Amino acid sequence: MATLASPRSAAGTGAALTVALALLVLLNYVDRGALAIAAPGLKTELALTATGFGIAVSAFAWIYAPAQLVVGWLSDRFCVYRLVAAGLALWALATTLTSFVGGLASLVVLRLALGIGEGVAFPAASKIIAAKVSSAHRGIANSTVASALYFGPALGIFAGGLIMVHLGWRAVFLIFGLATFVWLVPWLLVSRPHWRERGTSPEMVPLRRVAREKAVWAMGIGHFANTYAFFFLLAWLPLFLVKTRGLAVGDMTRLLTTVYLVQAVSALLLGWLSDRLVARGVDEGRLRKGMMAAGLSLTGIAVLGVGLAGDTAHIAFWLLFAGIASAANGSNVYAISQMFAGPRAAGSWVGIVNGIGNCSGIVGPILTGLIVDATGSYLNAFYIAGAVSLLGGLWWAFAIPAVRPMVLDDAAAT
């Protein structure tokens, strides 16, 4: 006979899993951003052009974006906790082996493997949060995970910068990859009690049923705008600051670490605030859509400011502005997805949204590399990133429909 967990026990389980997922995402972004951190040394040693470097950055998303559809589907049907463990092991291996690359071809192959492994993170996290966290704590749970989007680059840039200065760029990948392998042990310990949980036949929501929702495609387009500037800055800022603005690696490390820390703390504060406002009666759907629209619009202004800034002080100001402006964007995409899809279809919904959204990681890096090689300047790339964010703000304000749960009564029979 099944027993019901107490609310306090359920809340504790949700909190523990949320923290574990946040640490998982932190490592995800430490490893994903390692290429950008190592770029000043790697690009020179491997004799990569800006376009070649852009191809290496883009290769991650070639497989990551389409894999989101498959991972989302798997998350709704099989044990999501085991799926995360398998993905974690694969991306740790890919990161470790990147320390031995000898040219663009091997670098691209390992970036593809990294994309497959890291593809589990966000569909799986949304599936778990939708199932284990109450709606009253949806904002802080998603912002805790989303803050790892920024704590990860902060830690990665700080540690990676020190490693690169003292041990070289290859040691960055070796140390980061081995550290990710170590995290596999605590993840197994935290998730092991839930390994018998999986989708059961009556609860399955076919992917084609989710794909019939216009809102999921509208959100995917909105998420493309949301990720474009984020990936642009994540991939190209270290190279831009060192090679174009003349910052020493140590100065670049301190500046970007500070920016990402401010962004992470802002994400947590805005997640907490959004839950408080919802508790006081503010409509959650309107609030989260409004935060997305405002955040993207302000991010677009900030990105343009970074590109046009003429000295380090102004670059720092606009980077901090961008960090605060975009802090809530990472969490609200997934919170809104969970509101639309519910726990039964959250994995599939986020898979589609993330699959479309991360196509920016395919297009953006190669476009930026071509622009830099053709013009010798990053300015036009900043113009494009800023414009995409500004248009994204308008899209979230006017193109995303009212947030309400999709009807799933006929899902199993569809």
For residue 169, is it within any domain?
yes
For residue 8, is it within any domain?
no
Q: How far apart are CA 62 and CA 277, in angstroms?
A: 39
Amino acid identity, position 62: W
What does the DSSP 8-state code read for residue 5? P
Q: Which residues of 285-305 are buried (b: 16+ CB within 10 A; e: fewer)?
A: bebbbebbbbbbbbbbbbbbb
For residue 199, is it within any domain?
no
pLDDT for position 148: 81
List Cα–Cα distances, 206 to 132, 198, 212, 214, 349, in angstroms: 21, 15, 10, 16, 11
Determine the average pLDDT of the residues in 190-206: 67
For residue 182, is it within any domain?
yes
Specify the higher pLDDT residue, 390 or 115. 390
pLDDT in tens, 105-128: 999 999 999 988 888 887 888 788
For residue 411, is it within any domain?
no
Amino acid identity, position 132: K
For residue 306, is it within any domain?
yes
pLDDT in tens, 368-383: 989 999 998 999 999 9
Q: What is the CATH number of the domain that holds 231?
A: 1.20.1250.20
Specify the higher pLDDT residue, 394 or 233. 394
Confidence of residue 8 (pLDDT cuts 50, 70, 90): low
Q: Can you give the residue range of the structural domain that contains 304?
A: 15-192+204-398
For residue 375, is it within any domain?
yes
Which residue has tokens 């709704």?
Answer: 76
Q: How far apart are CA 99 and CA 254, in angstroms?
A: 24
Confidence of residue 1 (pLDDT cuts 50, 70, 90): very low
Q: Per the structure block, which two tokens stand in for 118?
A: 């890291």
Instruction: Give how many domains the chain has, as a whole number.
Output: 1
